[in-house]
């Protein structure tokens, strides 16, 4: 006689925090940066971690370097897993600099991208042009994720300018506003030259954010992810997560790792709002 074994983990062990939900998520979004995974590695990523990825970004300007068939297959597989796929913002900045924005939009649509990142981390982009790009992408049916901040080492966040930029981006049609930290997470935006979170800057920014569910924080390093989860909560939106860290981040969101084990006994009122 065969014994029937229930392989489904009890809910209290799957998510001790009781705060995580399935896709589509409006909070607790995880954006992953792909800097050149091959087809087999990408399939492995989708097989093991797709449930915990909401947005997949082909980093900076890597998209044109793939064979067309490879990138189309990767995009198609990710979309089947209900993941929004976007090219890196630097590629659109290149298109702006080369006066090739229409060609850029035509090409990403043909490849199957369903989102786009609008940024000015490397170039100067007038406010009117930024809004125009957001509206243009939205009208094409793309989800728009804007980015605030410069990629220059030592650049800081002007809290009031961030609040104004976010408000105007949302008015133009942006879905989320991302706080720049590069893929290194060191010496840019919210993080100092050692990669540590500037806690006072974070507190000031949280005061001016009208809807924290519409702000995504680039946080590629574990210590940064821990700091934001502890300050904002498991529902914080995090980006530029390395592909190998997706499951590790999800355990921290759920209180399944010692770094955030305390989440299991905290309520929403315990977090900085």
Q: Report yes or no: 146 and 89 within 8 Å, Cβ to Cβ.
A: no
The pLDDT tens digits of the residues spanning 12-25 come to 999 998 889 899 99
Q: What is the mean pLDDT of residues 62-77?
A: 97
Q: Report yes or no: 263 and 17 within 8 Å, Cβ to Cβ.
A: yes
pLDDT at 273 over 50: no
The pLDDT tens digits of the residues spanning 90-122 come to 999 999 999 999 999 999 999 999 999 999 989
The number of distinct structural domains making up the chain is 1
Query: Residue 266 domain-assigned?
Result: no
Distance, in Å, from the CA atom of 74 to the CA atom of 133, rounded to the nearest integer, reads 26
| CA-based nearest residue to 50, from 80, 14, 71 | 80
Which tokens belong to 86?
A: 């976007």
Query: Residue 57 domain-assigned?
Result: yes
66-80, 152-166, 183-197, 251-265 — most confident range: 66-80
The pLDDT tens digits of the residues spanning 221-233 come to 999 999 999 999 9
Alpha-carbon torsion (97, 99, 100, 102), positive or negative: positive
3-class DSSP assignment, residue 207: helix
Higher pLDDT, 269 or 166: 166
List Cα–Cα distances, 260 to 38, 154, 203, 249, in angstroms: 32, 29, 19, 10
Q: Any idea which residue has 């990408």 for tokens? A: 42
pTM for this model (two decimals): 0.92
Q: Report yes or no: 79 and 112 within 8 Å, Cβ to Cβ.
A: yes
Distance, in Å, from the CA atom of 136 to the CA atom of 12, rounded to the nearest integer, reads 45
| Weakest-pLDDT range from 77-86, 189-198, 244-253 | 189-198
Query: Residue 5 domain-assigned?
Result: no
Query: Residue 15 domain-assigned?
Result: no
* CATH code for the domain in which residue 54 is found: 3.20.20.70
Pairing of strands 84-87, 115-118: unpaired
- Residue 103 lies in domain: 20-257
At 262, phi and psi to the nearest 5? -65, -20
Predicted pLDDT of residue 2: 58
Higher pLDDT, 81 or 4: 81
Distance, in Å, from the CA atom of 32 to the CA atom of 74, rounded to the nearest integer, reads 14
Tell me which long-range contacts 197-204 makes (C-beta under 8 A, separation of at least 24): 197/223, 197/224, 197/227, 197/228, 199/227, 199/231, 201/156, 201/157, 201/159, 202/227, 202/228, 202/231, 202/272, 203/272, 204/159
The pLDDT tens digits of the residues spanning 133-176 come to 999 999 999 999 999 988 788 788 899 999 999 999 999 999 99
Query: Residue 268 domain-assigned?
Result: no
Query: Residue 75 domain-assigned?
Result: yes
Query: Residue 262 domain-assigned?
Result: no
Distance, in Å, from the CA atom of 118 to the CA atom of 32, rounded to the nearest integer, reads 17
At 57, phi and psi to the nearest 5? -115, 125
Q: How many CA atoms lie within 13 A of 242 on its CB side?
A: 10
Query: Residue 51 domain-assigned?
Result: yes
């Amino acid at each position: 006689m065969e014994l029937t074994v229930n392989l489904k983990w009890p809910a209290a062990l799957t998510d001790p925090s009781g705060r995580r939900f399935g896709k589509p998520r409006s909070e607790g979004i995880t954006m992953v940066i792909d800097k050149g995974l091959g087809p087999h590695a990408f399939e492995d990523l989708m097989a093991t971690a797709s449930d915990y990825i909401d947005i997949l970004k082909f980093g900076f300007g890597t998209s044109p370097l793939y064979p067309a068939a490879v990138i189309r297959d990767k995009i198609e597989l990710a979309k089947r897993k209900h993941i929004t796929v976007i090219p890196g913002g630097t590629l659109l900045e290149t298109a702006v600099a080369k006066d090739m924005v229409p060609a850029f939009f035509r090409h990403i649509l043909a490849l199957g991208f369903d989102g786009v990142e609008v940024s000015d981390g490397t170039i100067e982009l007038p406010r009117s042009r930024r809004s125009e790009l957001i509206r243009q992408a939205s009208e094409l049916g793309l989800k728009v994720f804007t980015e605030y901040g410069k990629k220059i080492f030592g650049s800081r966040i002007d809290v009031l300018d961030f609040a104004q930029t976010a408000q105007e981006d949302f008015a133009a049609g942006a879905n989320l506003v991302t706080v720049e930290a590069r893929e290194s997470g060191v010496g840019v935006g919210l993080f100092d030259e050692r990669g540590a979170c500037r806690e006072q800057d974070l507190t000031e920014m949280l005061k001016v954010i009208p809807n924290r569910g519409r702000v995504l924080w680039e946080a590629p390093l574990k210590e940064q992810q821990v700091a934001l989860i502890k300050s904002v909560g498991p529902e914080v939106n995090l980006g530029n997560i390395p592909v190998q860290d997706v499951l590790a981040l999800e355990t921290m969101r759920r209180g399944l790792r010692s770094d955030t084990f305390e989440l299991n006994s905290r309520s929403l009122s315990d977090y900085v709002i």
